[in-house]
Chains A and B, each alone.
Chain A
Amino acid sequence: MSWFDYQDPTPARITFDEWDDLFQQIPDELIDQFHYFPPNQEAWSKYLFPPQVFAIYGARHLRRLKFDNSLAALRLWGFVQNEIERLFRARQVGKKVVAVMGDLGPLAVIVNSVAARAGSSKDGGGCVAFYPDCWWWTPFAMESKVLLDKAAELGIGDATCFSRAALGAFAKHSYFPDPDLVIAATGASCDDYSGVESLVAKMVPEVVWVETPLRRVEPEARERVERMVVEEYQRVLKKLEELTGVKVTEAMLQQGIRRANHLRRLTQRLKELAYGYGVFPALETMVVEFGCLHGYSDIVEWTAIVEHLVQTGEARLAAGKTVLALDSLRIGWVTPPADPLLLCYVEDRGARIVASEYVINQALSLIDESVPPLLGIARSLLTGSLIGTSRERAEMFVTAAQGRRAEGVIVSGILGGSHCAMESRLIGDYIKQKLDIPILEFDVAPPNKAIDRQTQTRIDAFLELVRSRR
């Protein structure tokens, strides 16, 4: 049986328990078809399980979320939740595990280009890129402060972004295998994370440091900055060649770029489907956006999943079926990643997200295929949200919000997140100036079972205000 033959129910957001019931209706032959590290088809690499399975293994937060009820979305959740297992399995089947940190996207394109070539044999060989940065969500998913406490023990406490969970994960040695190589980018990006990298560097044998310079717009300076990044990447390539024994050719990089662009185009389309036509909820859309960073440690299977999602969305659009009412309040969200619970809550209150700025622009912009590969990748890095001024970041968002006629904007920050402290107000002021719509600013609370009452009340009042302006 192929998934083409499976009939999704009427699109809806469903609860954790409802997924359990729905899962019973998915035929076993279908479940058997989905494996990570394709083309391998071994029994150990299946991942299509309902959220319950992952809740049992610790992702307790899932019990409080609402999910899209399509098979494609189930595939997404099973795959994303299975990343820890996948990374340990990568090591078992002989892949090199490469941690890329701090640049949110471009470095993984380089590593995955090597992986594509060296890993084309049935399963073993090659390398897998992953972002420890993404362990940020683990304390939320597990409703546990274990990783944050560990980070505090190592020197990074409360007044810091939740990305400190990555440090805890390195120290615990049980969330991913000890990487064969750590590549860490730092520069005009994020201090909180640079601090995490600095302490990680003291735990691992070696770190390849990569400079992320400030974006410059004047043509001469821009070229100079691009050249600087290209040379940083050349050093990375050399390290990867030493690690894998594979000579990295321009053709391999071009292939890697094409694949990254394919994924980025799919993601753009999925965002259009979700934000423009309400055929997907904000939560899955956010998870897909973040998938552009590294494909959740398996870019090939992840791309197939996003293809599946886009096809589902197109089919819904063609059939005129939406998940969220089109007349819901149209909200834009600017933040480091929004808390999944908050995204669900806002939708429960009759709103839908129509524009977002989740600080990962560099993972979403298309890489220029007409220039030498490393230059193309360098240019994509330099489109990053945090690499320029706060005003540029605000402008990117304002364009998106205007395009989707956002009626209100949420700017959520993190207490102690170094860029939040400096730019929340600059961004808020700029948006106010340009859009003249209500803005709600708050900090995302630490991992918790429920949204705190104060934030809830503020969101309710904000949505009321937006509604009253209709």
Chain B
Amino acid sequence: MAILDSARLESLRLERFEELTGLKAQGKKVVGYFCLYAPVEIVQAAGAIPVRLARADYGSALAGERFLRADACPFCKASLGKFVQDPLYQLVDGVVIVNTCDMMRRLPEALTTNFSVPVFLLYLPRTSELFPNRLQGFQAGLSDLKAWLGGLTGQEWQEERLLEAIDEANQLRRKLQELDQTRAEMPPKISGGELFDIVALATLLPPKRMLNLLNDLLAVLRKPAEAMNKNRARLLLTGSILSEEDRTLIEIVEEKADIVADTVCTGSRWFNEEITVAEEPFAGLARFYFSRTPCACRRPNTALFEYIKQQVAARKVQGIVSKSLLYCDAYRFEVKQLRQEVGLPVLEVDGDYSQVNRQQLRTRVEAFLEMLR
């Protein structure tokens, strides 16, 4: 049983879009971001509305080829294409980009050159060992972001708003963790696809509204569920960013198996940790974002592998599906390593957003699941 069917999801999105249009008309600024390293709490505290831009499909990637070479990351191409095609993207007054990879680091130039959208590029050290100089450098970048946002919104900075935003974000992350925990059950109470949809919604709706919605969903889940098949394979999904519109792989996998864990940045890595504000808020934020479970692009990325292993053990995972976008070095390069380190069978899928090989994908998934029996 779907806990949030697609019609409801679509209407929630639409309502929010209309609401954002109205707020914008009243002078509110909408700030888009792509990456989970973008500190949304600062955006909120600056009086702007953060919206994650993670909608990418084949059409938008093709549209993006007007601006980038065909061998650029499909997500980056699609993101540019969306600025041509998607009304939500056209709403944004500014974009925060984090330099997670080469492609992302160069997206600001492509955006400002072709769309005249103001962009703030936040430099996150690519090295992940937490040395004071790196942390200080990153924290100074957060202060620059605060100043940039102030220029965009024209509003005075209010420290209480930041504390409030951190608190709300933490509550939201906790609730999502609770929801995600239901995937640990045997059988899982929600599907991987549902979790991804809910995370996507959480990056669009205001935190309070999302919290209410999550409470409702959790209440439904606490009721005894209809009997689900306990014998389906339990899988972990890892890899590049998974766009909101790229559900093909999940759909095909979940026809016959359950995605009970993931390490994707539009999935569990969005909410798996919380901010501690024992220190000055910016220091707390810097520490949190610097040391979140790392994206594969950070060096060393050992903690990502640790997270995968921990998920595998906690959720009784039997196999791993790794989806890399074409030309996404960060994830593609690590698949062999994943196989060796985790010791589970890995189905390696790479591609852009095209649907042409859907049938072939289904055959590969089925063969993989066969092997897990």
Contact = CB atoms under 8 A, between A and B. Distances in A.
B101 A418 contact: yes
B153 interface: no
B308 to A, nearest CB: 15
Contact of A159 (B71, B126, B335): B71
A210 B127 CA distance: 7
A307 interface: no
B96 to A, nearest CB: 15
Nearest to B331: A195
A416 B144 CA distance: 33
Interface stretch (A35-43, A47-55, A224-232, A253-261): A224-232
B327 A421 contact: yes
A186 B299 CA distance: 8
A253 B43 CA distance: 44
Given A159-B327, A186-B126, A191-B101, A228 B300 contact: no
Task: Bin chain B's interface residue count.
Answer: 35 or more
A190 interface: yes
Give chain A's interface residue range (CB within 8 Å of chain B).
35 or more
B182 interface: no
A425 B107 CA distance: 12
Given A160-B329, A201-B299, A211 B69 contact: no
A209 B299 contact: yes
Q: Of A227, A228, A420, A424, which is in contact with the most chain B CB atoms at under 10 Å from its CB?
A: A228
B301 interface: yes
A436 B276 CA distance: 55
Contacts of B335: 155
B138 to A, nearest CB: 9
Contacts of B140: 221, 224
B102 A155 contact: no
A192 B121 CA distance: 21
Interface string B115-126: 000000101011
A199 B300 contact: no
Contacts of A413: 69
Contact of A391 (B76, B107, B109, B329): B109
Interface stretch (B4-12, B129-137, B266-274, B310-318): B129-137
B299 A426 contact: no
Contacts of B336: 154-155
Main secondary structure of the interface of A (DSSP, over half): helix
B106 interface: yes
Contact of A195 (B69, B71, B330): B330
Nearest to A155: B336
Of A211, A214, A413, most buried by chain B (CB within 10 Å of CB) is: A211
A195 B121 CA distance: 22
Interface of A: 154-157, 159-160, 184, 186-188, 190-192, 194-195, 197-199, 201-202, 207, 209-214, 221, 224-225, 227-228, 231-232, 235, 389-391, 413, 415-416, 418-426, 429
Interface of B: 67-69, 71-73, 76, 99, 101-103, 105-107, 109-110, 113, 121, 123, 125-127, 129, 131-134, 136-137, 140, 144, 297, 299-301, 326-327, 329-330, 332-337
Given A418-B102, A419-B102, 6 more contacts: A159-B326, A184-B299, A188-B123, A214-B121, A221-B144, A231-B131
